Chains A and B, each alone.
Chain A
Amino acid sequence: MNPIAFVLAVLVFFAFELGFQDVLQLGPRPIAPSFVLMLAVFIAMWAKPVPALWAGLILGALIDLTWTIPRTDGGVATILGPHAMGYMLMTWLVLNIRGMVIKRNPLTMAFLTLIGGIVAQIVVVAMLTIRSLYGDPIPWDATAELLNRVLSAGYSALVAVPISLPLFALAGLFGFHHAHVRRPGQRR
């Protein structure tokens, strides 16, 4: 995987994540698509296993580091780990099932975003719920969070369909050589 393309994609997708989240939010509940999740799924679909796992870990860690949680006793907290572990497990899942799907299909990207997103969010909710069990001063409603996050994964899957088109077109820039499109009439 081309590291420069990865860094540029991270910057662009984080800008989308932080910038479009509010306007794309569905109603008053915090249900919004995650562009970083889509990027992580895309990389997991096409990259070699080890770089893909590192990419998942880095993207998850960056999500953790840009998530500030207000503490119930005043101040804020940033917890490094939940998204990093969630995205890593999601990448592992996609790596294991990508051989069984038609990668070039935008619906595949949507499907993998849905199940990968659900798995990642279950890990996040599980880790933060464990924390709340031993009385961490963080406001946490596991049921509501899980529901909102699963719905957000579904929303991300819908948005992944149009997003997959430019991503597939740019797959060559990432160094995913096996991702080049075979043009009509081109010999096998």
Chain B
Amino acid sequence: MMALVAVTLLIIGLVPVRYLGWVLWVREPVARVMTPLSAPVLSFVAWIAPPEGASASSEAVAALEQNAAQLEQLYLSEKFENQRLRAQIVQLQRGIALNPQLPVTQFAAPVIGRSSNPSSSMLEVRGGRTRGVTPNTVAVVAGVQLLGRVQRATDSTCLVLPINDPAAGQIGGMIAVDERSIDGPATLLTPTADGTLRGDVEDRRNADGNPRDTIRPGMTVRLRDENYWPANAQMFVLGTVERVETAPDSALRKVVIVRPTVDLRRVSEVVLRITDQDAQAGGTR
């Protein structure tokens, strides 16, 4: 009996992943039992060792700081949206059909589980298809920090892949040289093994040939990736510039190392942003 089970598991373990969709259905009842068990431990851990980014100041100050950051994000997002709509008008005038802009609804959902393997930072969140969550729904934390995208949704839960997971792929960003501007140098960031994102910075020059932008540590980097991320996610914060380096293969190019403003592996609650466009706009590089 045991030999039979072992051989079966060995075969299943080597079968191509496209034939293993049914394992996800087996996983669900197991996850339903196992993930809530970790909730008290996670609460205890959050109490004794709050994640980085949790402000030490009073709750009222923290709430005000978050409010300010949200308003700033909203301002930039509206500015970006305005620019996008202007471009749409131009396109409409050329006769191109576009999807109607639909409002975003969002709700807070607790993180109820994590992957048993530390090499995967996938988060299991309570919020599924019954609440409108679909693959590619955008998840944010701390008001304006982009967490990632839903990879899979069941009726009651979903799995979110953080942007700094090496499996998440590249993500386009804009370095906010001026905090009120959406016209910053572009960067295509790649997740690294240490939880940061790394990418080349667009080299913009003035008419006299001098560099147009000075990138400094501490600058905010925001999402600007219309091809692979839905419109409702644009201008959310990817992180702050931690270091600026010179590209190893070219002394003229700059490389930024960006760290998310909160530890994305240790968030306890996320905000899921639902639109009908999510499923249409998604994709992977």
Contacts and interface: CB of A to CB of B under 8 A. Distances in A.
Candidate in B49, B115, B152 with the most chain A CB atoms within 10 angstroms = B115
A53 to B, nearest CB: 6
Nearest to A70: B167
Interface residues of B, number: 58
Contacts of A75: 135, 151-152
Given A22-B114, A76-B159, A145 B119 contact: yes
Nearest to B46: A23
Interface in B27-43: 27, 30-31, 34-35, 37-42
A61 B116 CA distance: 11
Contact of A70 (B16, B37, B114, B122): B122
A65 B27 contact: yes
Interface stretch (B18-26, B72-80, B201-209): B18-26
A79 B13 contact: yes
Contact of B16 (A22, A69, A72, A136): A136
B266 to A, nearest CB: 5
Interface in B141-172: 151-152, 159, 161, 165-169
Interface stretch (A8-16, A99-107, A175-183): A8-16
Contact of B30 (A25, A62, A74, A137): A62
B249 interface: no
Give the interface size class of chain A: 35 or more
Interface in A46-85: 50, 53-54, 57, 61-63, 65-82, 84-85
Contact of B41 (A16, A31, A144): A16
Interface string A13-28: 0111111111101011
A19 B152 contact: no
B29 to A, nearest CB: 9
A172 interface: no
Contacts of B167: 69-72, 139
Interface stretch (B4-12, B88-96, B270-278): B4-12
Contacts of B173: none
B254 interface: no
A66 B161 contact: no
Nearest to B33: A11
Given A21-B118, A66-B34, A78 B27 contact: yes
Given A19-B39, A70-B151, A77-B24, 19 more contacts: A18-B41, A19-B45, A22-B265, A27-B194, A29-B193, A53-B2, A63-B116, A63-B117, A65-B23, A65-B31, A66-B34, A68-B159, A69-B167, A76-B159, A78-B26, A78-B27, A79-B12, A80-B20, A144-B193
Interface of B: 2, 5-6, 9-14, 16-17, 20, 23-24, 26-27, 30-31, 34-35, 37-42, 44-45, 49, 113-120, 122, 124, 135, 151-152, 159, 161, 165-169, 193-196, 265-266, 282-284
8 contacts: A18-B38, A18-B113, A22-B118, A23-B266, A70-B122, A74-B283, A79-B13, A131-B14
Interface of A: 11, 14-23, 25, 27-32, 36, 50, 53-54, 57, 61-63, 65-82, 84-85, 88, 127, 130-131, 134, 136-139, 144-145, 148, 152
